[in-house]
Amino acid sequence: MGAALFYHLTRSAPEALLPVLIGKSLDAGWRVELRGRSAGTLAALDQRLWQGEGFLPHGLAGGPHDARQPVLLTLPDQPATNLPACLIAIEGVAVAAQDCTALERVCILFDGNDDAALDVARQQWRDLTGQGVEAQYWSEASGRWQRRQ
């Protein structure tokens, strides 16, 4: 069973952390599902991942080669047909305990400067740990990422 890692963003945007998490996942030999709530956000991330520093091979779900994508950007109602080992969830999108048990790792990124996002993340923590999922909390409050107890 995989763990759920909660990333409390206070100094940077998800776009800054995503290449790091995706890169580490790909280095581990894992395929990734990047799940967001809105098509607009995923379209913007699609452009950023192609044009950012370094190349991160990926595709938007709904294409003819979804199953071959190392990183597949999905909406909640789209299946991740690339057989991911890691799920990265943004925008407060729902994550089920079954996601955590089926995958090596689930990363939940949330904006610590947004009260509504904090509430969603806290509820996700309670729901997942209440169902027996191991969870870790990571904070960048000190200026670098640190695991907190």
CATH code for the domain of 117: 3.40.50.10110
pLDDT of residue 143: 87
Q: What is the mean pLDDT of the chain?
A: 93
pLDDT of residue 53: 64
pLDDT of residue 15: 85
Domain count across the chain: 1
Listed residue (37, 29, 22) closest to 88, CA to CA: 22
d(CA 83, CA 115) in angstroms, rounded, equals: 33
pLDDT digits (tens, 9 = 90+) for 11-36: 988 888 999 999 999 999 999 999 99
pLDDT digits (tens, 9 = 90+) for 103-146: 999 999 999 999 999 999 999 999 999 999 999 999 998 889 99
Which CB contacts under 8 angstroms, 24+ apart, belong to 101-105?
101/1, 101/2, 101/133, 102/2, 103/2, 104/2, 104/28, 104/30, 105/2, 105/3, 105/5, 105/25, 105/30
Listed residue (2, 7, 4) closest to 148, CA to CA: 7
pLDDT digits (tens, 9 = 90+) for 72-113: 999 999 999 999 999 999 999 999 999 999 999 999 999 999
Listed residue (4, 5, 3, 8) closest to 110, CA to CA: 8
pLDDT of residue 52: 63
Residue 10 belongs to what domain range? 3-148
